[in-house]
A and B are shown apart, each in its own frame.
Chain A
């Protein structure tokens, strides 16, 4: 550990803690999940980066959206995402969540994931290689350091719109809103301390 990183630890221990213990939700959302088992097992060993799969979303703060997202999965993703404690980060894998990818004309997959939940980073590829996943993790570190990975804050602030978009697809959602929708402005005020 060199001086800069000690400094960082002293300055913002919470950020450093979050950075080096990214626990991923155990949720195989799409075909990109096929590269996750190699990543978390011995050949590539994601634990060196502090990434391990967590049993439930309550224990996790990293959500890997691995590939295309069908409507049914999106519902599960939203629920899982809302269950995760803050701070939480999402990473979109591959082409499909960015702009539809292979399934750009499918009636059952969504084309832009960031219309429904915030996404902090995207990895190009179909599928992304394990190496790209690691580099993505290092990028996420930098973003956390610089305070750029603020997807969850955005979700809180603009929850009204996210919920709107979600309900455009599913009709009325069966679970209650995560944040009070009418008092959007109030929430915005106190975001900074939480970040």
Chain B
């Protein structure tokens, strides 16, 4: 991991890298560098994209995209790499990484649906899980699911109650 860290710092500038105690590599990069560094890491043997995740840092008004890479073969190492980048929350847009990792497709679709992040050049940013339309994508921090339940589900009356005008608890 330390060797990899050195190599990355040689090639890419302005990135923050830390190696954690348990042998993970955490890389913070600017969003322009993500694709390049993903290609680089893939060549270095980190050829399995485990997960693309997103964190909503609502106070900082940013989304943090997280790419977790693991190697398929043990030669490349045993740990995993967490690659993080921040994008703006107001206008969440990012480039797709399908050209590098094909399995990014459903993950990006999910983030598009649940966080409202648009991935440019993604072949099908259609609905994945949801049935109803949500004004705020439900996984954002400002979407209050308990409030939503009160507004939507609890307002629907019981069928018996409609005729008999009673209220079931």
The residues of A with any CB-CB pair to B shorter than 8 Å are 70-72, 75, 104-108, 110-112, 114-115, 118, 154, 158, 161-162, 165, 168-170
CB-based contact B131/A71 at 8 Å = yes
Min distance, Cβ A99 to any Cβ of chain B, angstroms: 10
Of B132, B138, B145, B158, which contacts A169 at CB under 8 A? B132
- B157 part of interface (Cβ distance < 8 Å): yes
Find chain A residues with CB under 8 A from B132 CB: 71, 108, 169-170
Asked if A111 meets B158 with Cβ closer than 8 Å, knowing A104-B149, A105-B145, A170-B131, the reply is: no
Report how many A-B pairs have Cβ atoms within 8 Å. 57
The number of chain B residues with a CB under 8 A from chain A is: 21
Find chain A residues with CB under 8 A from B145 CB: 105-107
Find chain B residues with CB under 8 A from A161 CB: 159, 162-163
Task: Report Cα–Cα, A114/B129, bound state, in Å.
Answer: 24
Find chain B residues with CB under 8 A from A154 CB: 159
Find chain B residues with CB under 8 A from A106 CB: 145, 149
Task: Report Cα–Cα, A146/B131, bound state, in Å.
Answer: 39
Find chain A residues with CB under 8 A from B14 CB: none
- B148 part of interface (Cβ distance < 8 Å): yes
Find chain B residues with CB under 8 A from A105 CB: 145-146, 149
Q: Which of B132, B138, B156, B163 is most buried by chain A, counting CB atoms within 10 A of its CB?
A: B156
